[in-house]
């Protein structure tokens, strides 16, 4: 199954010092609101910044979803609020496929994630704001940042993986539309608001730039989205 939709993107220009980048990355959120910008010459009309989520079978009953992203320049930071149907999906540790217990969720474990450091000037570091559950959906906030950059060359690169197995009695046929989804900050009382109650959150955030300068910020699922006609393409499976 595949669903590919175009969402409105809020793109901004932010210039910061290296120290400010570190401070920003440590929290994976910024109080500075991006502003609209004109499209630069190197940005073709065919290529759009985007995020892809792809499903892969690892072994036996173990699966993973791989988060990939692309931007016209170089990615410095990604931040996601992503949820899944907990009646179908059971997270496991990426290292040994051990099931994750309730106490681990409460402690904010990142064991189901495998951070990938794509080629660039410096490796990525991870930051998570933990897990939240509402009914049959569980969400996580997962962020990766670097003091350097990861070059994309207008192509998709792997950012991180999420490992899981299926709940008892479920099969691969149960992995259907909306089992996984990016959350939207437009939903009052939703998961994004739980993580970012000051209306400064988003379902997806991509930042691109160079060593100590953040150039542009791409949002989807932000409270202030839809002020720019450019699109961020999001594909799940």
Task: Flag whether 41 is in a domain.
Answer: no
Task: Flag whether 137 is in a domain.
Answer: yes
Task: Flag whether 82 is in a domain.
Answer: yes
Q: How far is CA 156 from CA 45, 48, 68, in A?
A: 17, 11, 6
Task: Flag whether 85 is in a domain.
Answer: yes
Range of the domain at 79: 3-35+47-236
Alpha carbons 219 and 186: distance in angstroms, whole number: 12
Overall size of the chain counted in residues: 237
Angle at 206 between CA 142 and CA 50, to 5 degrees: 105
Task: Flag whether 101 is in a domain.
Answer: yes
The residue among 138, 141, 121, 120 whose CA lies nearest residue 195 is 141
Alpha carbons 236 and 41: distance in angstroms, whole number: 30
Contact between residue 158 and residue 68 where contact means Cβ atoms under 8 Å apart: yes
- Whether residue 3 is predicted with pLDDT greater than 60 in this model: the reply is no
- The three-state secondary structure class of 193 is helix
Task: Please report, in angstroms and rounded to a whole number, the separation of the first and last CA atoms in the chain.
Answer: 6
The confidence band for 220, taking pLDDT boundaries of 50, 70 and 90, is confident
Alpha carbons 50 and 48: distance in angstroms, whole number: 6
Task: Flag whether 201 is in a domain.
Answer: yes
- Whether residue 48 is predicted with pLDDT greater than 80 in this model: the reply is no
Contact between residue 217 and residue 71 where contact means Cβ atoms under 8 Å apart: no
Task: Flag whether 108 is in a domain.
Answer: yes
Tokens of 185: 């900050």
Which residue is listed with tokens 């999906």?
89
- Whether residue 231 is predicted with pLDDT greater than 70 in this model: the reply is no
Per-residue pLDDT tens digits for 91-138: 999 999 999 999 999 999 999 999 987 666 678 899 899 999 999 999
Alpha carbons 134 and 195: distance in angstroms, whole number: 13
pTM for the model: 0.78
Domain count, the chain: 1
| Least confident among 43-47, 87-91, 195-199, 215-219 | 43-47
Q: Which residues fall within 8 angstroms of residue 103, CB to CB, at 6 or more apart?
A: none
Task: Flag whether 165 is in a domain.
Answer: yes
């Amino acid at each position: 199954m595949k669903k590919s939709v175009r969402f409105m993107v809020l793109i901004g220009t932010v210039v910061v010092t290296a120290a400010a980048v570190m401070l920003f990355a440590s929290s994976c959120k910024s109080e500075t609101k991006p502003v609209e910008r004109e499209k630069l010459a190197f940005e073709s009309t065919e290529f759009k910044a985007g995020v892809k989520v792809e499903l892969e079978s690892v072994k036996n009953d173990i699966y993973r979803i791989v988060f990939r992203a692309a931007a016209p320049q170089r990615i410095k930071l990604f931040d996601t609020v992503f949820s899944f149907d907990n009646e179908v999906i059971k997270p496991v540790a990426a290292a040994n496929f051990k099931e994750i217990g309730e106490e681990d969720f409460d402690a904010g474990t990142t064991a189901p994630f495998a951070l990938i450091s794509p080629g660039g000037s410096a490796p990525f570091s991870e930051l998570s704001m933990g897990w939240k559950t509402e009914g049959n959906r569980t969400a996580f906030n997962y962020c990766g940042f670097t003091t350097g950059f990861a070059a994309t060359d207008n192509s998709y690169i792997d950012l991180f993986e999420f490992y899981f197995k299926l709940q008892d009695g479920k099969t691969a046929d149960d992995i259907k539309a909306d089992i996984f989804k990016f959350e939207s900050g437009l939903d009052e009382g939703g998961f994004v608001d739980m993580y970012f109650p000051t209306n400064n959150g988003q379902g997806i955030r991509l930042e691109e730039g160079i060593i100590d300068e953040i150039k542009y910020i791409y949002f989807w699922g932000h409270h202030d989205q839809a002020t720019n006609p450019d699109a961020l393409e999001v594909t799940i499976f």
